[in-house]
Amino acid sequence: MDKFYLTTAIDYVNGKPHIGHAYEKILADVIFRHYTQRIENCYFLTGTDEHGIKIQKTAEGRNITAKELCDENSQSFKSSWKELGIEYSDFIRTTDERHKQTVQKIFKKLVENGDIYKNQYKGLYCSGCESFLNARDLTEEGLCPNHLKKPEEVTEENYFFRLTKYKDAIIEHIKLNPEFILPSFKVNEVLKQLEEIEDISVSRNRNSVSWGIAVPDDNEQVIYVWIDALSNYITALGYDTENPSEKFMKYWPANVQVIGKDILKFHAIYWSAILLALGLELPKTICAHGWITIDNSKMSKSIGNVISPIDILKFFDLENADALRYYMVTSAPFGRDGNYSDVDFKEKVNADLANNIGNLLNRTLNMLVKYFDGEIKSEFIKNDTDIEKAVTETVVKYKKFFDEYQVSEAANVIVDLANTVNKYVAENAPWTLAKEGNMTKCGEVLYNVLEASRKIAILLYPYCPNISKAIFQQLSTDINIKFSDIDKKLFSGKITDKNKIKPVFPRIDSEFATDKKKEKN
């Protein structure tokens, strides 16, 4: 692999970011950070979807322009992602000129190729989905299954995309490329949807929706969500129908597109068809994650359980987002729904980050200071074969899980490794060895634990970059997070600042955490 291009869904800016938005972006950031440890050329795109009737109506209700609403809410997403440590390469807004101009070129090319045509349409339109629905898609009560509202009957003359033209090619691609849709249990769902697809509307009459990109050569029509929103993945790279940029040529096709399971159909089918119509390669993988519930209830404004991720950081008075990042991406197996609760959050991060990984490092460093004035002597550098084997096996499993985008499962093997090293400490009891005067063996045990902790820091980096860097700092060694550093023997010498030895992640509500709050106040 000579490059890695990752995208997320772009968030609709009709409201502020919530924990569901955060889950996807953290998940994507963890994947991206992992691949930056392995290869040089990595690119991470996220952004905001800023057109459509919902934004238009919300802005009208607030007596501001649609662009003012978009500017305000798009900035909220950017600010939230910064606080959550999301280090994207580019942030695309569908109101950006670079995007709008290219979308019009794409639309025009599809018209010229005969892939877009104009037709009279009568259908059921759900403003929540920004999509026309078939009667068979509705609940028994005739409601949209996602928004539980009755769709509106709409009759319009719109432009349509010949989705059915690409049906067979998409089916063949799915069957020939088992990694195209992940998790694999979603494949049959998409194949079933393909059996029932029809051509789709890709414009709306300006009288119905005025806030959008104008259809080229037809100012009475506005380009509808799918060609507008989905094209961001290539417009951000500088795609052009005549002269694509070097960046586009370098990074397309995407290695993985991380999306929610509710929009898998639009990416696996609609987006694939648009790319085929443009003569472009399909992404290697479309990765559909589950939803996040709150205390086992689906998030809903009417219930009042929509949570801001930044509010969680403030509630627990966390200095950075590492704990929330770790919890969110380990809250559910790959592709399944996860759940957030304050109690579970506190218990899990205390168990895994404070008690397991953090305490392992802290007590070992304190023993090194107590018994050897913080110094690893040359005679102590003797590698334990069982620990080395455990690290090697962990790295193999870890990389395999990431290559399949099983991020929560990859985190589990880090915890398993820390458990193994904690067991090694208990079995070898360096405090007893010191008491018995067996100082060389005691030093060897401490060296192996600290060297394992350095490797754990490399594995932990995508999830908890701040904790990872704190581990390196306490080991008085350079921050080396590349996978090529795993096999190096870098920990030797002396702890340079013994006064800075403290828990890298204090237990939430612990004495250390309370002291930190006092210091801040």
* Residue 328 within a domain: no
Statement to judge: residues 167 and 227 lie in one domain: yes
With a cut of 60, say whether residue 515 has pLDDT above it. no
Lowest mean pLDDT among 199-213, 378-392, 472-486: 472-486
Statement to judge: residues 363 and 288 lie in one domain: no
pLDDT tens per residue, range 307-352: 999 999 999 999 999 999 999 999 888 999 999 999 999 999 999 9
Statement to judge: residues 151 and 207 lie in one domain: yes
* Residue 395 within a domain: yes
Domain boundary among 298, 330, 365: 298
Statement to judge: residues 35 and 164 lie in one domain: yes
| pLDDT value for 301 | 66
Statement to judge: residues 240 and 356 lie in one domain: no
Statement to judge: residues 487 and 394 lie in one domain: yes
Provide the mean pLDDT of the chain. Answer: 92
Catalytic residue among 82, 149, 298, 389, which? 298
List the CATH number of the domain containing 479: 1.10.730.10
How many CA atoms does the CB half-sphere of 337 hold within 13 Å? 11
Catalytic residue among 122, 192, 301, 518, which? 301
* Residue 364 within a domain: yes
Residue-number span of the structural domain to which 456 is assigned: 342-520
Q: Which letter does DSSP use for residue 288 in this model?
A: E
Active site residue 287: no
Stretch (H or E) spanning 399? helix 385-403
Catalytic residue among 70, 126, 287, 464, which? 126
Active site residue 21: yes
Catalytic residue among 25, 34, 42, 129, which? 129
**Beta-carbon count within 10 A of 87 CB:** 13
Statement to judge: residues 416 and 289 lie in one domain: no
| pLDDT value for 467 | 97
Q: Which of 276-285, 371-380, 471-480, 483-492 has the highest mean pLDDT?
A: 276-285
| Global confidence as pTM | 0.92
Q: 329: helix, coil or strand?
A: helix
The residue type found at 391 is V
* Residue 506 within a domain: yes
In whole angstroms, give the CA distance from residue 209 to residue 218: 14
pLDDT tens per residue, range 179-218: 999 999 999 999 999 999 999 999 999 988 999 999 999 9
- Two structure tokens written together for 123: 């259908």
* Residue 429 within a domain: yes
Judge contact between 12 and 58, C-beta under 8 A: no
List the CATH number of the domain containing 41: 3.40.50.620
In whole angstroms, give the CA distance from residue 45 to residue 36: 14
Judge contact between 272 and 166, C-beta under 8 A: yes
pLDDT tens per residue, range 424-458: 999 999 999 999 999 999 999 999 999 999 999 99
Domain boundary among 268, 298, 328: 298
pLDDT tens per residue, range 72-96: 999 999 999 999 999 999 999 999 9
Active site residue 298: yes
Domain boundary among 298, 331, 352: 298
* Residue 307 within a domain: no
The tokens 């929560």 sit on which residue? Answer: 408
Interhelix angle 439-460/407-428, rounded to 10 degrees, is 170
Statement to judge: residues 483 and 412 lie in one domain: yes
How many folded domains does the chain comprise? Answer: 2
Statement to judge: residues 264 and 168 lie in one domain: yes
Statement to judge: residues 93 and 236 lie in one domain: yes
Statement to judge: residues 388 and 482 lie in one domain: yes
Statement to judge: residues 216 and 354 lie in one domain: no
Q: Which letter does DSSP use for residue 271 in this model?
A: I
* Residue 43 within a domain: yes
Confidence label for 238 from pLDDT (cuts 50, 70 and 90): very high
Rounded alpha-carbon distances, angstroms, from residue 276 to 72, 115, 232, 238, 468: 35, 11, 16, 18, 42
Active site residue 147: yes
Catalytic residue among 82, 147, 435, 517, which? 147
Catalytic residue among 21, 51, 100, 455, which? 21
Active site residue 399: no
Cis before 506 (ω within 30): no
| pLDDT value for 337 | 94
Q: Which letter does DSSP use for residue 38 in this model?
A: T
Active site residue 149: no
The residue type found at 225 is V
* Residue 156 within a domain: yes
Confidence label for 300 from pLDDT (cuts 50, 70 and 90): low
Catalytic residue among 144, 287, 442, 464, which? 144
